[in-house]
Chains A and B, each alone.
Chain A
Amino acid sequence: MTKKKLTLVMMDAPFENARTVTGLRLIDAAVRRGHDVTVFAYEGAVALTFARQAPHANAVHGRDAAQEDHPLPKDWIASLMEDAPRHGGRLEWINCGLCVDERGVGEAIPGAKRGSPADLWKAAEASDNTLVIGTR
């Protein structure tokens, strides 16, 4: 398949819904195909790239943080960003700035940008296709 420009829009906050995992799986599949992917995160999804997400221990099960190996969305996204160029594509991640400010999650991982709905419009205009994964 030829290289495409794809935009995905994500809304769910981290650690809450399987839609986040499915969205990231779609992004992973797109990255592996070498497509250029833009993600516009808004509402709770802007916390997906929050740099201060931290693994924790599980006292109930008697496991420390390393044993618990708690998955963090910021690490998955960083890995996808790192992986994209190896497959000949790129992953651009844009967080809605107003949503970031509301939630105080401005400290994002490297590569995650701050933007506005205008950036979503531009990305969708430039893309071959756009999928909105809204909260239900």
Chain B
Amino acid sequence: MESYLLFESQEPLECAQVPRHYALAAGLKKEGNRVTLFLVQNGVAAARRSLRSDALSQLIDAGVEVLADDFSLRERGMSALRLTAGVKVATIAEALDQFAEGRKALWL
């Protein structure tokens, strides 16, 4: 089993490739790997509870850890109380720690 850390800095309405990034996370998880999707910058916008939350909910249900950067949330005035269920608020230091522990890290 490998461990992956995927940085997602864009949201689906901004970039058509984002759903493919989510599919990559799902695929890596399905292959039995440990996967964290770290949402940062505009990537956190997808974590807002909405009619389009299904994609992240499906990842969470599949066992992907979905983290939302606290700084990016604050920049955008997004409250942690209004995030999709299962999305955890995290600091950049938590992402750094996963990177430092040797996870395969990809900036999507």
Contacts and interface: CB of A to CB of B under 8 A. Distances in A.
Interface of A: 1, 4, 6, 18-19, 22, 25-26, 28-30, 32-33, 35, 128-134, 136
B93 A29 contact: yes
A33 B41 contact: no
B100 A132 contact: no
A6 B98 CA distance: 12
Contacts of A29: 91-93, 95-96
B99 A6 contact: yes
Closest 9 CB pairs of A and B: A29-B96, A29-B93, A18-B41, A131-B105, A4-B100, A25-B92, A133-B107, A29-B92, A129-B102
A136 B100 contact: no
B101 interface: yes
B66 to A, nearest CB: 17
Nearest to A131: B105
Contacts of A130: 105
Interface of B: 7, 9-10, 15, 40-42, 71, 91-93, 95-97, 99-103, 105, 107
Contacts of B91: 29
A71 to B, nearest CB: 14
Contact of B97 (A1, A19, A25, A28): A1
A26 B99 CA distance: 10
Contacts of A32: 93
A4 B40 CA distance: 23
B72 to A, nearest CB: 8
Nearest to B94: A29
Contacts of A128: 100, 102
A18 B72 CA distance: 10
Given A25-B71, A25-B92, A29-B93, A129 B99 contact: yes
Contacts of B40: 22
A76 B96 CA distance: 18
29 contacts: A1-B100, A1-B101, A6-B99, A18-B42, A19-B9, A22-B9, A22-B40, A25-B71, A26-B92, A26-B96, A28-B92, A29-B91, A29-B96, A30-B96, A33-B100, A128-B100, A128-B102, A129-B100, A129-B102, A129-B105, A130-B105, A131-B7, A131-B99, A131-B105, A133-B7, A133-B107, A134-B107, A136-B9, A136-B10
